[in-house]
């Protein structure tokens, strides 16, 4: 929980009175802060409850087959792409009969790209490993996503495991492994010898009811799990790892998706651990689908060259209504990060990160409005992103080099509020906070933040807000 502020925000003042840690004065402060920044109903509408409270019941499928029944060989050498494709084609016939399960027993199952179907469970047994082929021809080619435009690259490699316009699809197991064998892709990426953009391990597109759980993901060529244009997504009890030297590898990427829960997972990547996105520049603006109602909780995050939790930089469809709590961040370049640029348009707002521990992090918090890579030269330079109602609180950090680096946009400054933050800086620290084009407030923050964020609500502000509340209630009555 994010302390009393969290309880007021997501439950109610009445509930908070039963919380032993809630001081009545602090409760009042928290409530008033909420009313200043917009009340919970306005922020979350009728969907104010945490997304991770609502999990699907994964009933056993009435039909199940083993990949072995389709001629697959688990020796790590035999190519099984056809077996996976044929098995899923067969199981599609059970979609209207309660669905089916494709069982992958212990062994090493080498394969190229394959598609899932609706009402399907892909189950990996303990000691089962799906190995991605290192032959690019086995992955196939697909079009760029519409919210990212054509760029100069009109095509991209398909992901290893794909789903398009599905409902009720589950990828799970008894801690089986999906290994992308990414070293080939990383070397080719660095050498600029790839013909198209690198593939992901799992990409589910335009689907409803997606579950990924109880698996280990290794060595993704690029992203590990990429739900895009999806609703009701649960990622639970997964581990994802790529070595620190792996270029631009990313863990979980909710992209123009809503009602997402990510919980109880351990993610360690070469670049970013969890990245929320929603399209790029004019293409994301035109597609106009936000990433919203996202709940991230109880996760271990490591991002060697990037950020443990990042919003953007491709955020042109908007990112909002996000709660991230109980984050454990270590050995990362940046802890919590917001990236955007002129030309993105869109918004990042109503985002709360709280109950965070950090250790061995270069920059605890970052917000950068100059992340100015673009898909092409067609972007609108007057499309300014809005970054506002960002709240970070209840954070303890050890061995931090820079507390915060906030660099907003002159014509669209960033609104950020900080509370209950204690960071222990290391000997290499030469600047605690760096700020420009940012506004907001802070309370109980050490080291003391930059002047733009030093102000807290005064008692006179409380009186003013209280008067507004009373007037509003009188008007509503």
Residue 317 located in a structural domain: no
Task: Quick: pLDDT tens for 161-177.
Answer: 999 999 999 999 999 99
My answer on whether 305 and 221 are in the same domain is no
pLDDT value of position 455: 60
**pLDDT tens digit string along 86-138?**
999 999 999 999 999 999 999 999 999 999 999 999 999 999 999 999 999 99
Band of residue 47 on the pLDDT scale cut at 50, 70, 90: low
79 and 214, same domain (yes or no):
yes
Question: What's the confidence (pLDDT) of residue 78?
Answer: 98
Q: Is the pLDDT of residue 39 over 50?
A: no
Confidence of residue 31 (pLDDT cuts 50, 70, 90): very low
**Residue 475 covered by a domain:** yes
Domain assignment present for residue 209? The answer is yes
Query: Based on the domain organization, do 97 and 166 belong to the same domain?
Result: yes
Is residue 469 one of the residues assigned to a domain? yes
What's 124's domain CATH number?
2.160.20.10
Condensed to tens digits (0 to 9), the pLDDT of residues 423-465 reads 999 998 877 999 999 999 999 999 999 999 976 543 333 333 3
- For the chain, what is the domain count? 3
Whether residue 55 lies inside any domain: the answer is no
Handedness of CA 287, 373, 366, 438 (dihedral sign): negative
pLDDT for residue 449: 94
Same domain, 201 and 330: no
pLDDT at position 215 over 80: yes
Q: Is there a single domain that holds both residue 355 and residue 236?
A: no
Same domain for 28 and 121, yes or no, is no
In a domain, 85, yes or no: yes
Instruction: Please write the tens of the pLDDT for every residue from 218-235.
Output: 999 999 999 999 999 999
Query: Could you tell me the two tokens for 253?
Result: 């990427």
Question: What pLDDT is attached to residue 220?
Answer: 98
In a shared domain, residues 213 and 130: yes
26 and 64 assigned to the same domain: no
Query: Does residue 112 lie in a domain region?
Result: yes
Is residue 44 pLDDT above 80, yes or no? no
Q: Judge whether 362 lies within some domain.
A: yes
Other Cβ atoms less than 10 A from the Cβ of 75: the count is: 11
Percentage of the residues of the chain whose pLDDT score is greater than 90: 78
Provide the residue range defining the domain that includes 240: 60-270
Global confidence as pTM: 0.87
Q: Are residues 44 and 65 in the same domain?
A: no
Check whether residue 347 and residue 441 sit in a common domain: yes
Residue 30 has pLDDT above 70, yes or no: no
Looking at the structure, tell me whether residues 111 and 40 fall in a common domain.
Answer: no
CB atoms within 10 A of CB 108: 18
Q: Please indicate, yes or no, whether residues 111 and 211 belong to a single structural domain of this protein.
A: yes
Cα 327 off chain centre by: 12
């Amino acid at each position: 929980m994010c302390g009393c502020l969290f309880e007021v925000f997501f439950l109610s003042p009445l509930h908070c009175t039963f919380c032993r840690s809630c001081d009545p004065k602090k409760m009042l402060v928290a409530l008033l802060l909420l009313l200043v920044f917009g009340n919970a109903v306005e922020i979350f509408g009728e969907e104010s409850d945490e997304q991770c409270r609502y999990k699907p019941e994964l009933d056993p499928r009435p039909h199940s087959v083993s990949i072995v029944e389709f001629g697959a060989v688990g020796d790590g050498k035999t190519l099984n792409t056809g077996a996976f494709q044929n098995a899923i084609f067969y199981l599609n016939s059970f979609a209207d009969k309660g669905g089916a399960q494709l069982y992958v027993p212990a062994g090493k199952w080498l394969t190229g790209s394959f598609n899932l179907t609706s009402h399907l469970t892909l189950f990996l047994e303990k000691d089962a490993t799906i190995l991605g082929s290192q032959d690019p021809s086995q992955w196939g080619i697909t079009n760029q996503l519409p919210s990212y435009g054509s760029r100069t690259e009109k095509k991209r490699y398909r992901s290893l495991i794909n789903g398009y316009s599905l409902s009720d699809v589950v990828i799970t197991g008894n801690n089986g492994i999906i290994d992308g064998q990414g070293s080939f892709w990383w070397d080719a990426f660095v050498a600029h010898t790839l013909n198209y953009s690198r593939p992901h391990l799992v990409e589910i597109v335009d689907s409803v009811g997606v579950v990924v759980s109880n698996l280990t993901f290794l060595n993704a060529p690029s992203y590990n799990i990429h739900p895009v244009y999806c609703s009701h997504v649960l990622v639970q009890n997964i581990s994802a790892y790529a070595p620190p030297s792996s270029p631009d590898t990313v863990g979980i990427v909710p992209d123009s998706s809503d009602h997402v829960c990510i919980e109880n997972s351990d993610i360690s990547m070469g670049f970013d651990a969890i990245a929320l996105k929603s399209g790029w520049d004019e293409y994301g603006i035109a597609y106009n689908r936000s990433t919203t109602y996202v709940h991230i909780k109880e996760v271990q995050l490591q991002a060697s060259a990037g950020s443990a939790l990042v919003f953007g930089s491709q955020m042109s469809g908007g990112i909002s209504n996000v709660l991230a709590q109980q984050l454990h961040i270590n050995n990362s370049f940046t802890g919590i990060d917001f990236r955007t640029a002129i030309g993105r348009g869109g918004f990042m707002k109503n985002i709360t990160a709280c109950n965070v521990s950090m250790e061995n992090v270069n920059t605890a918090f970052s917000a950068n409005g100059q992340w100015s890579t673009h898909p092409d030269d067609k972007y609108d330079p007057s499309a300014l992103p809005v970054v506002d109602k960002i709240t970070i609180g209840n954070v303890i950090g050890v061995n931090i080099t820079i507390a915060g680096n906030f660099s907003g946009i002159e014509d669209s400054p960033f609104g950020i509020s900080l509370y209950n933050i204690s960071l222990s800086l290391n000997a290499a620290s030469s600047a605690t906070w760096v700020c420009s084009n940012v506004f907001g407030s802070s309370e109980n923050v050490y080291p003391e933040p930059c002047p733009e964020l030093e102000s807290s609500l005064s008692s006179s502000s409380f009186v003013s807000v209280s008067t507004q509340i009373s007037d509003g209630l009188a008007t509503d009555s």
